[in-house]
Amino acid sequence: MKKQIILILFSVCVVFVPKVAKSQWNCPSLLGEYTQPIGQSNFKAGLEIIGSAGLLDDNYYGFVSTFGALSYKINHHTFYVEGGFKGWKRYDESEDKTFGNNHAGFREAYYQYMNKQLSLRVGIQTMTMGDYYLVNDRALGFNLGWSFSNFKLQVASGSVMKQFSRNGLFCNVGYVYDILERDRGLMGNGFGQMNFASTTLTYNNKNITTGLRSVGLALYDEFGSRQEIKDTNVVMGGVYGLISLPFGINLMPEVLYQNAKNNNALLYSIGLRKIFMFENNTRLDCQARAIATTAIDDKAMIRNSFSNLFLGDVIRLEAKDEPLIQASTRYSIPRYSLHFKLQYTSQLKDYDEALSEVDLSCGKRINNLQLSLIGGYIKSQQLENKDCYLLRLEARLYLYPPKTR
């Protein structure tokens, strides 16, 4: 009966609640995009308030958070700090138990220097590299980028701690409804316990629109004082690229070799994207990604810790779950700030063994208010009935400081 109620409620919301915002199938706050100047000064500030509620199988949950941000920019220099509070509760009806937690702290705090050729960011920050797989986490460290001729060099290193990492205490849905008891990966309890260093060098072919538009080399290493990372000792390196095919299709391949204790392996990642443009600037964005590996050592697995693919709102597949695939299509109507999105995530295994998830969302932004609605279906052998349904409604309110004339 509950499944039918969820499906009916979601259908009603899709039809009668068009004022829904961009779906947050990920962890980060969007506050940095919504800060506003304070008077005529070089300061910007903003406040974000988030509330969400929903149900998943026999679990009912609620989540609330507030984030505040302050930045100061002069010439090429920027100082940015963002912190807040998160609290959540989840009631498990089958066990008649309530789970919950709350936490306050910093999410980002960094200094940045940027000009046309050089960028440097030092402090607590969200880091990604020039490739498509290796790093997507929040760390205390530095990220240096240098553009010269047709090349871009990026060098980054940081310490990943549970206080602010993307898999840590500031993560949203991962803790709120982690009913599958998935491994959340390695994080440090203090500085220096879990670290990474990575370098990417990308060559951009600026003179073509079809063919090999960019190609790059990547190198990655994990190190730290925790025994787990010493035992793993992951080093990865490989190549990646961007190939523009006919009909506006972009192909993004990457091949990495993993050198780790008893875990030597090859990882293959390939992405596809095609954007269709229609009248009134409406567009359909179609994307797909597949990840697979070849074990060199017997039963080798991909062991790097900070790529954080988070494929699926609930199942959150990572490379260790390979082979896996994710495909999505997103239809946007800019005139009404409205979009709809359908996403499928699954392991490429026998149907009875594979974790899989289907998510449907719709959205619209209204001034400084955003609402999000997600409905989903999850299939897993870990669940008592082997499947369950998800419904989640979320509101985000951005409050700007008063402007002076």
Query: Closest Cα partner for 292 from 267, 258, 264?
Result: 267
CA dist., res. 187 & res. 366, Å (int): 37
- Residue 371 domain-assigned (yes or no): yes
- Residue 354 domain-assigned (yes or no): yes
- Residue 405 domain-assigned (yes or no): no
CA dist., res. 219 & res. 215, Å (int): 14
Query: Closest Cα partner for 118 from 78, 157, 156, 152?
Result: 152
- Residue 381 domain-assigned (yes or no): yes
Q: What is the percentage of the chain residues whose pLDDT exceeds 70?
A: 87
Over range 208-219, report the average pLDDT. 94
Tell me: cis bond preceding 323? Omega within 30 of 0 counts.
yes
- Residue 97 domain-assigned (yes or no): yes
Maximum CA extent, the chain: 68
The pTM (predicted TM-score) of the whole model is 0.85
Confidence tier at 14 by pLDDT (50, 70, 90):
very low
Number of domains present in the structure of the chain = 1
Give the pLDDT confidence of 254-279 residue by residue, as tens digits: 999 999 989 999 999 999 999 999 98
- Residue 201 domain-assigned (yes or no): yes
Supply the range of the domain harboring residue 95: 2-399
- Residue 404 domain-assigned (yes or no): no
Give the pLDDT confidence of 316-358 residue by residue, as tens digits: 899 999 999 999 999 999 988 889 999 999 999 887 778 899 9
- pLDDT given for residue 342 in this prediction: 96
Q: The CATH number of the domain where 104 resides is what? A: 2.40.160.10
- pLDDT given for residue 104 in this prediction: 85
- pLDDT given for residue 162 in this prediction: 86
CA dist., res. 132 & res. 137, Å (int): 13
- pLDDT given for residue 212 in this prediction: 94
Give the pLDDT confidence of 128-152 residue by residue, as tens digits: 999 999 999 999 999 999 999 999 9
